[in-house]
C-alpha cells in the first residue's frame, strides 16, 4: 500500500508562476519522502482565517506564505518563532498536530550568500532599495548576522517607510536612515547595495524602468557587492551594470533557494539536496526564458 501523502503549499495571491512547487517537489522526489507541494491562491485577505482553520482540520503539513499575506497570517497562528516575531512577518508555517507555528526563513535565506563576505561588511554602511516586506527581512538579516555602521533605506515615500518601521514596532540594532530613492550619490558609501523592489523583473518594465539605479550612472564600483532579490531574469539589468563595474553580484535565486532550504527542513526534518534542486531550478528557468 502507498503511504498517505502529506500536503505542503504556498499561500499567496496569483502565485501560479511560483517556482516553490518545483523546488520542494524536486527535493521530495530526490529524497523519496511522501510530500506534495502545491499552490493555494487566496483572492481575499478575509479568507485567510478560514484557510488556516481548514488547514488544521485537514492536517495540511505546512505552508509558505508570500505577497500579500506575510503579515495577514500572523494573528491566526498559535505561535511565532523569534525571527518571525522580530518583524511580524511569516513566510513559513508548520502544522504540528493542529498547532500552527509561523517562521521567517527569508531573513536567514537572505543572509546566507552574504556570510562569506562578513569581514568585508562588518562596520560598514549598506543600502537597501524598497520599503516592503523583503526590505524589512533584509534589515533584520543585517542586524542579526552583521555588525554595521548604518543601514540606508532608499524609498520613494519616506513617510510610508517610517510608518512601516513604526507599525512593526521594529527595533534595529544598527541605525536605519531613510533616504529618498533619488538620492543616488549616497550609494557610493555602501559596501552592499540590495534591490528589494520588483524593479528589474522580466515583463514588469511598465514604467520603463528596469533598474533601481540607472545602469549608466557610474555609481557602482568594484569594491561593492550588489544583491538583487529579483530572480527572473537571473542576471537583471542592475546585476549586468554591477558586473560591468567590476562589483561582486548576488542573484535573487540564492535567497530563493536559501529560504526554501530552511522551510524544507522545518517541515520534513531533512536537509534539502540543494545542488540537485538548484540544477532543476536553473533548467526550468532556462526553459521558461526561451518560451
Long-range contacts of 45-49 (CB under 8 A, 24+ apart): 45/69, 45/72, 48/11, 48/72, 48/73, 48/76, 49/76
Q: Does residue 20 touch ligand NAP according to CB under 6 A?
A: no
CB of 84 to ligand NAP, least distance (A): 14
Q: For this structure, is 3 an active site residue?
A: no
CB of 1 to ligand NAP, least distance (A): 38
**Alpha-carbon distance 181 to 45, whole Å?**
30
Q: What angle do CA 13, 19, 252 make, to 5 degrees?
A: 100
Report which residue's Cβ sits closest to ligand NAP.
132
Q: Does residue 205 touch ligand NAP according to CB under 6 A?
A: no
Out of 70, 149, 206, 288, pick the active-site residue.
70
Asked whether the CA dihedral 242, 243, 249, 250 is positive or negative, the reply is positive
Q: N- to C-terminal Cα distance for the chain? A: 40
Cβ closest to ligand NAP, residue 13 vs residue 56: 13
Q: Does residue 197 touch ligand NAP according to CB under 6 A?
A: yes
Q: Does residue 181 touch ligand NAP according to CB under 6 A?
A: yes
Cβ-contact 107, 134 below 8 angstroms: no
Q: Does residue 106 touch ligand NAP according to CB under 6 A?
A: yes
Number of Cβ within a 10 Å radius of residue 119: 7
* All three cell numbers of 236: 537583471
Selected from 99, 144, 160, 188, the binder of ligand NAP by CB under 6 A is 160
**What is the pairing mode between strands 99-103 and 92-96?**
antiparallel
Cβ-contact 79, 93 below 8 angstroms: no
Backbone angles phi, psi at 38, to 5 degrees: -135, 180
Interaction pattern, residues 127-156, with ligand NAP; x per rule: CB under 6 A: ---xxxxxx--------------------x
CB of 60 to ligand NAP, least distance (A): 22
* CA separation, residue 218 to residues 52, 136, 184, 226 (Å): 49, 27, 11, 13
Q: Does residue 180 touch ligand NAP according to CB under 6 A?
A: no
Selected from 29, 79, 157, 205, the binder of ligand NAP by CB under 6 A is 157
Site for ligand NAP in 42-81 (CB under 6 A): 67
CB of 28 to ligand NAP, least distance (A): 20
Interaction pattern, residues 211-240, with ligand NAP; x per rule: CB under 6 A: ------------------xxx---------
Selected from 141, 213, 255, 277, the binder of ligand NAP by CB under 6 A is 255
What residues are labeled active site? 70
Contact residues for ligand NAP (CB under 6 A)? Answer: 67, 106, 130-135, 156-157, 160, 181, 196-199, 201, 207, 209, 229-231, 252, 255-256, 259
Amino acid at each position: 500500500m502507498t503511504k498517505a501523502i502529506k500536503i505542503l503549499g504556498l499561500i499567496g495571491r496569483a502565485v501560479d508562476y511560483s517556482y516553490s512547487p518545483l523546488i520542494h517537489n524536486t527535493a521530495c522526489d530526490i529524497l523519496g519522502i511522501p510530500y506534495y507541494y502545491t499552490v493555494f491562491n487566496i483572492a481575499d485577505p478575509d479568507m485567510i482565517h478560514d484557510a488556516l482553520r481548514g488547514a488544521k482540520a485537514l492536517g495540511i503539513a505546512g505552508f509558505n506564505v508570500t505577497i500579500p499575506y506575510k503579515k495577514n497570517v500572523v494573528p491566526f497562528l498559535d505561535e511565532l518563532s523569534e525571527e518571525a516575531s522580530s518583524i511580524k512577518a511569516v513566510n513559513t508555517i508548520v502544522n504540528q498536530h493542529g498547532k500552527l507555528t509561523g517562521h521567517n526563513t527569508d531573513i536567514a535565506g537572505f543572509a546566507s550568500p552574504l556570510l562569506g563576505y562578513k569581514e568585508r561588511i562588518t562596520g560598514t554602511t549598506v543600502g537597501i532599495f524598497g520599503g516592503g516586506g523583503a526590505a524589512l527581512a533584509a534589515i533584520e538579516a543585517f542586524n542579526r548576522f552583521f555588525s554595521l555602521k548604518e543601514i540606508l533605506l532608499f524609498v520613494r515615500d519616506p513617510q510610508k517607510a517610517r510608518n512601516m518601521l513604526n507599525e512593526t514596532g521594529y527595533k534595529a540594532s544598527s541605525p536605519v536612515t531613510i533616504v529618498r530613492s533619488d538620492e543616488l550619490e549616497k550609494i557610493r558609501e555602501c559596501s552592499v547595495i540590495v534591490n528589494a523592489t520588483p524593479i528589474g523583473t522580466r515583463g514588469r518594465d511598465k514604467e520603463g524602468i528596469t533598474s533601481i539605479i540607472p545602469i549608466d550612472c557610474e555609481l557602482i564600483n568594484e569594491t561593492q557587492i550588489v544583491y538583487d532579490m529579483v530572480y527572473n531574469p537571473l542576471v537583471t539589468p542592475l546585476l549586468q551594470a554591477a558586473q560591468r563595474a567590476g562589483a561582486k553580484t548576488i542573484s535573487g535565486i540564492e535567497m530563493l533557494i536559501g529560504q526554501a532550504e530552511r522551510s524544507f527542513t522545518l517541515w520534513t526534518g531533512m536537509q534539502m539536496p540543494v545542488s540537485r534542486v538548484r540544477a532543476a531550478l536553473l533548467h526550468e528557468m532556462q526553459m521558461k526564458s526561451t518560451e
